[in-house]
């Protein structure tokens, strides 16, 4: 299990892995170097021209291969954002990847009649869909063995056994020994994983609060910061996070919550090739090459040996964790309804904030002194000129050192402050659309500036602004999907989790679209009616 790391962690891995120089090689080079002397020539730079020529040839081969994979190449997909030790961009040559999954892929490719492995980047949560689409032949990137995956795709033998482990702050280590001790506590994990399913199940039995993240780095940061009380993830990820923090900040509980296995995934129609891959994996377990790979990446432990023994001896494999696909569909409906509620609540609160911010900004721009006009203009242009996603990250993670906002509040703040800039422009335009001569008429009648705004200018501007405001609210309803990046599980995020678990986007996607439409269509209709009613003369 792995997903998006931020790139700063590549630096840390470069440091911890700098001693194992041969691991800096890309997949293809490593394959060539495995048994021959090319490795030394490569490293000592004796044959620079040959290397450049080989790289160029590789590029050409790669681009040709993208159109029509050659039978001598095994195209495999993984997520390099997941980072070491699974798959990461090679710090020495970011155009190449390295990691134990990279080496497993190379070993499988070699076993399939001496093929070369070629890597394709794919978002971790999309590996299943991409392999069925034919973007690559084999998905291999900490892919978990689940009943749904087995039902929908051709899944290889398990090649690695991981433990779902809990990480807690050191002061809680004496009190928390398992999920049962986490009633009412916030427990973080990566969305759309076995760990997430375990937490959702535990929510109903023990009353803990699952918090879903889009990456496996921030859960540990938020654990140390006190935003969550525990993290449930694969032991490899937990250990990596602990190493990066210099071994402090949190502790990993010894007793695992569950065991799981990493597998390769192929398209359903590719079951014959899957059987060949299984044969190669069995051979690699027997001849020790798989063990060597895991030892090189420091993830070998006795439980892998036991797994290898079981796999090599028996044709059957252990039953995967998790429940079957059929039961998921219904189980996720209440979550979808809850998530739709979150979407609506985030949108309404954000819009209320946006209206207040917009009114303040527009007043500043229309009525304020020069310095205030400049200030509000700068705010509006900066907010409109930068991505909402960036603003979300800055408010949630960037400000964490100064003020630690809860995710929901950060989401409402970011959306409200962002949309406030757009509202400000609507209100400014609407205020300026009220004819100046009416304002002068009001002055000659003896109204104060405030009365003119309240009785003459404001009411007319509101009519001009209502239709564009309604349109903005519809846009905000959809933009609220972005807040899932700061752990708020709203409709789109819940749908993605649902889709990953049932292994298809068809039903979840249609359901999600229906819910969005049910919320936005009446609003769009309202906007049209307002526009017809109060069109400026």
Partner 1 sequence: MIDRLSVRYDSRDVLRGLSLEVARGEIVALMGPSGVGKSTALRAVAALQAFDDGQIVVDGFALAPGPVPPESRLVPLRRRVGLVFQAHALFEHLTALDNVTLALRHVLGRSRDEAEAVATELLASLDVGSRASAWPGQLSGGEAQRVAIARALAPDPHLLLMDEPTAALDPARRSALGATLRRLCEQGRGLLVATHDAEFARANADRVVSLTA
Residue ranges binding partner 1 (CB under 8 A): 435, 437-438, 440-449, 451, 455-456, 459-460, 463, 537
What is the DSSP code (8-state) at residue 323?
-
For partner 1, give the closer residue by CB, 370 or 537. 537
210: helix, coil or strand? strand
261: helix, coil or strand? strand
Q: Are 116 and 31 in contact (CB under 8 A)?
A: yes
For partner 1, give the closer residue by CB, 11 or 537. 537
**Residue 448 beta carbon to partner 1: minimum distance, rounded to whole angstroms:** 6
**Residue 388 beta carbon to partner 1: minimum distance, rounded to whole angstroms:** 34
Angle at 474 between CA 470 and CA 478, to 5 degrees: 160
How far is the CA of 6 from the CAs of 1, 215, 227, 448, in angstroms?
A: 16, 9, 19, 56
**Residue 449 beta carbon to partner 1: minimum distance, rounded to whole angstroms:** 6
**Residue 450 beta carbon to partner 1: minimum distance, rounded to whole angstroms:** 10
For partner 1, give the closer residue by CB, 338 or 443. 443
For partner 1, give the closer residue by CB, 292 or 451. 451
DSSP states of 53-112: HHHHHHHHHHHHHHHS--TTEEEEEE-GGGBTTTBEEETTEEEEEESHHHHHHHHHHHHT
For partner 1, give the closer residue by CB, 94 or 435. 435
Angle at 124 between CA 19 and CA 14, to 5 degrees: 15
Q: Are 117 and 76 in contact (CB under 8 A)?
A: yes
Laid out side by side, the sheet with 265-266 consists of 116-121, 73-78, 138-139, 265-266, 154-155
**Residue 436 beta carbon to partner 1: minimum distance, rounded to whole angstroms:** 9
Token reading at 91:
């710090």
Strands (E), 214-316: 230-234, 251-252, 258-262, 265-266
For partner 1, give the closer residue by CB, 180 or 455. 455
**Residue 536 beta carbon to partner 1: minimum distance, rounded to whole angstroms:** 9
**Residue 375 beta carbon to partner 1: minimum distance, rounded to whole angstroms:** 24
For partner 1, give the closer residue by CB, 370 or 403. 370
**Residue 530 beta carbon to partner 1: minimum distance, rounded to whole angstroms:** 14
Taking the alpha carbons of 78, 125, 199, 173 in that order, is the dihedral positive or negative? positive
**Residue 463 beta carbon to partner 1: minimum distance, rounded to whole angstroms:** 7
DSSP states of 418-452: HHHHHHHHHHHHHHHHS-HHHHHHHHHTT--HHHI
User: Cβ neighbours of residue 433 under 8 Å, at least 6 residues apart?
Assistant: 460, 461, 464, 536
**Residue 370 beta carbon to partner 1: minimum distance, rounded to whole angstroms:** 16
For partner 1, give the closer residue by CB, 447 or 505. 447
Token reading at 220:
């540990």
Half-sphere exposure of 229 (CA within 13 A, CB side): 17
For residue 465, give the nearest of 531, 532, 380 by alpha carbon: 531
For partner 1, give the closer residue by CB, 199 or 461. 461
For partner 1, give the closer residue by CB, 397 or 447. 447
């Amino acid at each position: 299990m792995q997903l998006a790391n931020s790139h700063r962690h590549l630096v840390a891995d470069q440091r911890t892995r700098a001693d194992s120089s041969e691991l800096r090689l890309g997949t293809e080079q490593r394959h060539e170097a495995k048994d021959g002397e090319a490795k030394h020539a490569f490293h000592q730079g004796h044959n620079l021209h040959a290397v450049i020529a080989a790289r160029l040839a590789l590029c050409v081969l790669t681009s040709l291969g993208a159109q029509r994979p050659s039978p001598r190449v095994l195209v495999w997909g993984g997520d390099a954002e997941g980072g070491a030790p699974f798959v990461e961009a090679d710090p020495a040559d970011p155009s190449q990847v390295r990691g134990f999954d990279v080496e497993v892929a190379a070993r499988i490719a070699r076993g399939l009649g001496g093929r070369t492995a070629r890597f394709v980047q794919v978002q971790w949560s999309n590996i299943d869909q991409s392999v069925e689409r034919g973007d690559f032949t084999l998905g291999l990137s900490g892919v978990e063995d689940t009943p749904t995956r087995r039902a929908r795709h051709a899944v290889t033998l398990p090649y690695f056994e991981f433990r779902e482990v809990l990480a807690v702050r050191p002061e809680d280590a004496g009190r928390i020994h398992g999920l049962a001790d986490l009633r009412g506590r916030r427990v973080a994990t990566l969305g759309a994983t076995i760990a997430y399913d375990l937490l959702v199940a535990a929510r109903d039995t023990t009353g803990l609060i699952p918090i879903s993240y889009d990456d496996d780095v921030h859960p540990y940061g938020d654990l140390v910061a006190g935003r969550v009380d525990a993290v449930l993830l694969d032991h490899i990820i937990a250990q990596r996070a602990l190493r990066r923090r210099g071994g402090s900040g949190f502790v990993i509980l010894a007793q695992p919550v569950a065991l799981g296995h990493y597998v390769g995934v192929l398209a359903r129609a590719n079951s014959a090739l899957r059987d060949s891959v299984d044969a190669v994996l069995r051979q690699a377990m027997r001849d020790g090459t798989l063990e060597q790979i895991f030892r090189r990446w420091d993830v070998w432990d006795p439980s892998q040996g036991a797994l290898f023994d079981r796999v090599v001896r028996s044709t059957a494999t252990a039953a995967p964790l998790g429940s079957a696909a059929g039961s998921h569909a219904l189980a996720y409906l209440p979550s979808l309804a809850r998530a739709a509620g979150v979407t609506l609540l985030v949108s309404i609160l954000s819009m209320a904030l946006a209206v207040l911010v917009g009114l303040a900004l527009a007043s500043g721009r229309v009525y304020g002194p020069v310095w205030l006009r400049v200030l509000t203009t700068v705010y509006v242009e900066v907010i409109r000129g930068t991505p909402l996603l960036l603003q979300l990250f800055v408010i949630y993670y960037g400000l964490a050192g100064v003020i630690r906002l809860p995710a929901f509040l950060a989401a409402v703040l970011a959306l409200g402050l962002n949309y406030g800039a757009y509202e400000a422009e609507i209100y400014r335009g609407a205020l300026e659309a009220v004819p100046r001569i009416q304002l002068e008429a009001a002055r000659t009648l003896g109204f104060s500036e405030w009365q003119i705004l309240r009785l003459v200018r404001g009411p007319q501007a509101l009519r001009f602004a209502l239709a564009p405001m309604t349109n903005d609210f519809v846009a905000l309803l959809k933009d609220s999907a972005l807040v899932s990046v700061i752990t708020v599980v709203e409709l789109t995020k819940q749908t993605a989790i649902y889709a990953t678990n049932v292994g298809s986007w068809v039903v979840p996607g249609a359901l999600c679209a229906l819910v969005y439409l049910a919320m936005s269509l009446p609003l769009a209709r309202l906007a049209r009616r307002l526009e017809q009613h109060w069109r400026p003369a």
